[in-house]
Chains A and B, each alone.
Chain A
Amino acid sequence: MFGKKRVAIVGAGLTLFRRRLKETGKELSYEASKMALDAAGMELGDMQSVVMGTAPDAFDGVHMKGEYLADGAGAYRKPYTRVFVGGGTGVFTPLAGWWHVASGQFDSCLVVAEEKMSSCYPHPQFAFTTIFDPILERPLGMNLIWIFALEMHRYMHKHGIKKEDIARVSVKNKGNALDHPCAQLGAKITVEDVLNSEIMAWPVQRLDVSPTSDGASALVLVSEDVAKEVTDNPVWIDGAGWCIDSTHWTNRDLYYPDYVECAARMAYKMAGIKNPPKEIDVAEPYDPFDYKELHHMEGLLLCKKGEAAKLTAEGVTQRDGDLPINPSGGLLGVGNPIAAAGLMKVCEIFWQLRGEAGKRQIPGDPRTGLAQAWGDLMQYGSVIVLRR
């Protein structure tokens, strides 16, 4: 067991995810934080520390946006840190909150994630074009969708996976999101709809991709002693893992996310998990693109390499299947305000393990769940394992 103290999640909060929300980034952070505190039956004064996760400054359009957002996240005159690991931020933020408490330094930590992508006008795609190497890649006119198209194509080629096998993920997640009160893109669609949607950069089509969104999410983390005082129903952070691969993404094969496996193994070791598919009851792998859910299921060792599409086709990953994957509706359905979307996944596992997921509740008696996010230039993995 890493860390000195066991850490519990005792409250979660989530705003609507939408293409454009009226609230500022600070106001969104406040809404999610207040909801998480209310759910925990705690007040801002009970929070000894705050960790904020938010992605590139260029989305909100404020340099040093960690400082800009601080008051919305309840950080006024508190120990405060902003963390940022690209798309991996949403799951990394509660990991940073975890070590605040596990170290014994604090008994409580408010964990907040926010993204207001609509500020970037006309489209946040323009902020994404500056994430590439300024000398080797940007002069070619790189575009975010293209590099994922390169990765998706490599994955399909390596395992002989067809577009329709991948489209099923989009159909499932958008369908699941119909039951999520915060969702932006819940929809009943078919595999044909995905295959007939606009080709952006082959093999990526419009319905393979999650939207850009505004939104925030939050968690209240406390030490074991405090957890006993405030709830009978804590959810424990039992596994934490994170890892970064080479910044030179051209040096990786792309068909398999080694860095996700590395992060997962770290989290499983800490949680004492030997057989992930048997011991994990529900998982929320990162799904900004439909193929990424499959890619990440394999990286998380939830199935063999190249097997995720088959499990999806067999219905194993449906809410009532043997291994429910993204019961929330994921990024494809609920929306993708980058950091807030990753933390939304941790909120979902928290609610699933507490039996509070409403219409999205998976059957049975889930006791162990996992959330994972991925980011930077397809190189970063963050994994959290929760237990009730």
Chain B
Amino acid sequence: MSLDKITNPMHVRHWLGDMEADYIYTLGVAGERFFKEIKENGKIMGAKCPRCNIIYVPPRMYCEKCFAKLEGWVDVGTRGVVHTFTVAKIDVDGKKLQKPEIYALIKFEGACGGLIHKIGETTPEKVKIGMKVDAVFKPSFERKASINDIKHFKPAE
């Protein structure tokens, strides 16, 4: 039975409940090392599978193609390429964002995978697929071993 004529769901006969639960996630074996390099050295690392000759970014403990344990780590640099991007105009509530946010999938030369991150210090019209971008790190004392230790990526000079 459709309730479409009721636009406020609070006017439907209901019981209000929640499933609140909080979580604490470990970074994992590969994740801990990845974020430590970001925090302490401002480096973006990949993990190399010697058998498949693939460098995974972000790095992983194992190769998903052959199940080799990955122990060789490679610095992939802090410059990446915009593989695709979006300009978000509304937030998760559907409300208009005061300033549109640019999110991109950034890939690194010679590596498989990449990072999702914000593009900053530019405007949406100037962002293009294929453009080179550099990671902008927070000052080291503000870093917490999180993906947000990278403030955003900005267009390369």
A136 and B116 in contact, given A20-B3, A125-B92 (Cβ under 8 angstroms): yes
Partner of A23, one of B1, B84, B113, B118: B1
Q: How far is the CA of A37 from the CA of B96 in the complex (A)?
A: 47
A18 x B90 contact (CB < 8 A): no
Which residue from chain A places its CB closest to the CB of B21 in the assembled complex?
A63
Measured between beta carbons, the chain A residues less than 8 angstroms from B27 are 135
A137 x B25 contact (CB < 8 A): no
Q: How far is the CA of A12 from the CA of B94 in the complex (A)?
A: 36
Residue pairs across A and B with CB atoms within 8 Å: the count is 125
A-B contact pairs, 24 of them (CB 8 A): A16-B2, A18-B2, A19-B4, A20-B3, A21-B1, A21-B3, A121-B16, A122-B9, A123-B93, A129-B92, A134-B25, A135-B25, A136-B116, A142-B116, A145-B88, A150-B103, A150-B116, A153-B85, A199-B87, A201-B88, A202-B87, A246-B64, A250-B105, A253-B83
Does A278 lie at the interface of the complex (its beta carbon under 8 Å from any beta carbon of B)?
no
Q: List B residues at the A interface (Cβ < 8 Å).
A: 1-4, 6, 9, 12, 16-17, 19, 23, 25, 27-28, 31, 56, 58, 64, 83-94, 103-105, 107, 112-118, 124, 129, 146-148
Q: How far is the CA of A45 from the CA of B89 in the complex (A)?
A: 53
By DSSP majority rule, is chain B's interface helix, strand, loop, or mixed?
A: mixed
A157 x B84 contact (CB < 8 A): yes
Measured between beta carbons, the chain A residues less than 8 angstroms from B90 are 198, 200-201
Does A118 lie at the interface of the complex (its beta carbon under 8 Å from any beta carbon of B)?
yes
Measured between beta carbons, the chain B residues less than 8 angstroms from A21 are 1-3
Which residue from chain A places its CB closest to the CB of B60 in the assembled complex?
A248
Does A68 lie at the interface of the complex (its beta carbon under 8 Å from any beta carbon of B)?
no
Partner of A254, one of B89, B105, B112: B105
B92 x A18 contact (CB < 8 A): no
Which residue from chain B places its CB closest to the CB of A142 in the assembled complex?
B116
Measured between beta carbons, the chain A residues less than 8 angstroms from B85 are 150, 153
Does A275 lie at the interface of the complex (its beta carbon under 8 Å from any beta carbon of B)?
no
Most central of B31, B83, B86 by chain A CB within 10 Å: B86
Most central of B16, B91, B103, B113 by chain A CB within 10 Å: B103
B94 x A153 contact (CB < 8 A): no
Does A364 lie at the interface of the complex (its beta carbon under 8 Å from any beta carbon of B)?
no
A149 x B86 contact (CB < 8 A): yes
Q: How far is the CA of A118 from the CA of B71 in the complex (A)?
A: 46
Does A58 lie at the interface of the complex (its beta carbon under 8 Å from any beta carbon of B)?
yes
Q: How far is the CA of A136 from the CA of B114 in the complex (A)?
A: 11
Does A163 lie at the interface of the complex (its beta carbon under 8 Å from any beta carbon of B)?
no
Interface size, chain A (Cβ < 8 Å): 48
A146 x B86 contact (CB < 8 A): yes
Which residue from chain A places its CB closest to the CB of B26 in the assembled complex?
A135
Partner of B19, one of A58, A140, A149, A247: A58
Q: Which of A198-213 contact B (CB under 8 A)?
A: 198-204
Q: How far is the CA of A383 from the CA of B91 in the complex (A)?
A: 34
B147 x A139 contact (CB < 8 A): yes
Measured between beta carbons, the chain B residues less than 8 angstroms from A154 are 83-84, 105, 129
